[in-house]
Chain A
Amino acid sequence: MLEFLLNTIIAMSKGVGYTVSLFVITIIFSMPLGLLCTFMSNGKNPVLRAITRAYVFVMRGTPLMLQLFFFYFGITKIPFIGQFLVMERFTAACVTFVLNYAAYFCEIFRGGLLSVDKGQYEASKVLGLTKWQTTVRIVLPQMFKVVLPSVSNEAITLVKDTALITAIGIMDLMHITKSLVNGSAGSIEPFIVAAVFYLMVTFGLTKLFNYLEKKFMF
């Protein structure tokens, strides 16, 4: 019994690699991209503004699953250029997740930016700080404090969303779990092991963000 459980865990740990990598890559790339979008959608250039607004609208308004299929299958069917856009499954998954999450982060950061009092910009300007110094040293830290709870929510949602990549045949945790359940005559242990894994990650993230929120309490 114990041995069976151990074997299950070993088999599943191979899938954890994909799940965790996708999570880490998405977080690392989507946040800066989201921030860039925030500045573009608040910026002076009307073309950039329109593009970012449209991008956010599309990415938030369609299912992540659809986007995943689009970037893995759909994009290759585009006449002429499609053949150059063929991606590995996992690459396609990363592209989809980064683009999708960047759109959510863009909106979250935009809200955070609006919450920074205009007096902060005025004080900075009168003290002679440049726009860049004002943004980096005054505005962003205050913005991060405001958005932290929403970012925490997104991160936890992301952990669970990673399971979607099963749909394009990536051997992630969810995929392996499912095949183990199908294979070993109706046992449910793999489900429980997977659930415990997801719970551990989300628990860890909750703790991390609680810590950050305390640190950013001013």
Chain B
Amino acid sequence: MANALSAQGVHAELGGFGVLHGVDLDIAAGETVALLGGNGSGKTTLLRTVLGLVPLTAGSVTLYGTPLAQFNDWWRIGYVPQLSATAVTKATVAEIVASGRLARRRMLRPPSAADHAAIRRALETMRLTELAGNELAELSGGQRQRAIVARALAGEPDLLLLDEPLAGLDTRSQDALAAMLAELKLAGLTICVVLHELGPMADLIDNAAVLRDGQRIFFGKLAGSHNV
């Protein structure tokens, strides 16, 4: 079976500067890969490149065996962008979370019962049910982070790419997210997650890729983590 995600020799530029210099990343279906590396090492750019948001200058990306340019099954893909890169619009938490369901909905059709149920579950998982009617601009940073994680969960994807989902989350929300991802992993979810600390996600990680200056300097199992 084709890998959920396969990136070969990915080169990418931002503002005319090379940011990724030939990165390989293969993620088998059902696998969980942590993407690690210091600030500016290219983690966000790698995620954005495999999603087609940053153009490849060389190399190739396939999603479920289909080259990126031909890929159409976007309902299979969930994405949690890095919070600091997300603008705040006039919206309630419920509206933002519901927008994560659009890839599964037909245009001009009202949401189905399954859509409503998925949105409700996503809100519950991220402990947002109480805040559902609140405006995004009135939330704390961590609450907003929970909303964009819930948005991705609402789409019930097969491959979930998360860019620092734990950033700003309190321990309860971190644990709740890790537990949810563990449950979804058992059900077959493929995960690629950018992390600075493994935290409660440690047990989930099958392999880690470490980037430095736009190159992959490590790929494999982590024996653990330590903090000095």
A binds B: no
